[in-house]
Chains A and B, each alone.
Chain A
């Protein structure tokens, strides 16, 4: 596609619910990243995929967060038992290989009530 696509653009949920956020990277990009951006802050690294495998998941805050990329393209970030502190914009980015420039999506804004 023309750019990194993220859905939904906005998600409002209640505390304790399960949420899935989807990222469709630029076609041909092998590397995919998830970042989280809270209001007034810089993006915070969550996880990095190279192909289908998670090359680095050290940024996932706890075991309620999980991400998959089963076919090496689309990725889904899954958040269980959401908490109000999970409210943020979740940014996805992709690059051609692990050394290429990052191209970010517009983000998914998650609000947990």
Chain B
């Protein structure tokens, strides 16, 4: 089955700096890659996603890049703010949808003042 690895496990940045979280996946058939943000004790929430026919997608301060050849994808957050502090999870699916996601182990992002 699919295996998703995520790095780093923790990341601390100063407010205003950029943060990058990287994931690799094992199944070359994977074609849908969402990112979720989970604040402490809260539900995971989708922040951005990308499909395998696209190399990059951007939404305001958040962007995701996908390299199908290398089987890795990354989340980029620019101009970080304290409210960006949370655990971020990457995920992958071979169905092209969110119907069966394999999640990474998460990255705890801390944005300091």
**Contacting pair A31 B99 (CB below 8 A):** yes
B54 contacts partner chain A, Cβ-Cβ < 8 Å: no
A99 to B32, CA, bound (A): 11
How many chain A residues touch B (CB < 8 A): the figure is 25
What 1/0 flags go to A28-51 for Cβ under 8 Å of B?
000101000000111111001000
What 1/0 flags go to B60-99 for Cβ under 8 Å of A?
0000000000000000000000000000010100011111
**Contacting pair B103 A48 (CB below 8 A):** no
Which residues of chain B come closer than 8 Å to A98, judged between CB atoms? 95, 97, 99
How many chain B residues touch A (CB < 8 A): the figure is 22
Q: Which residue of B lies closest to A98 (CB)?
A: B99
Summarize B's interface: helix, strand, loop or mixed: loop
A73 contacts partner chain B, Cβ-Cβ < 8 Å: no
**Contacting pair A106 B97 (CB below 8 A):** no
**Contacting pair B97 A99 (CB below 8 A):** yes
**Contacting pair A95 B101 (CB below 8 A):** no
What 1/0 flags go to A46-71 for Cβ under 8 Å of B?
00100000011011000000000000
Which residues of chain B come closer than 8 Å to A105, judged between CB atoms? 43
**Contacting pair A42 B103 (CB below 8 A):** yes
Which residues of chain A come closer than 8 Å to B44, judged between CB atoms? 43, 91, 104
A82 to B98, CA, bound (A): 29
A88 contacts partner chain B, Cβ-Cβ < 8 Å: no
List residues of B whose CB falls within 8 A of some A CB.
Answer: 4, 6, 34, 42-46, 89, 91, 95-106
List residues of A whose CB falls within 8 A of some B CB.
Answer: 4, 31, 33, 40-45, 48, 55-56, 58-59, 91, 95, 98-102, 104-107
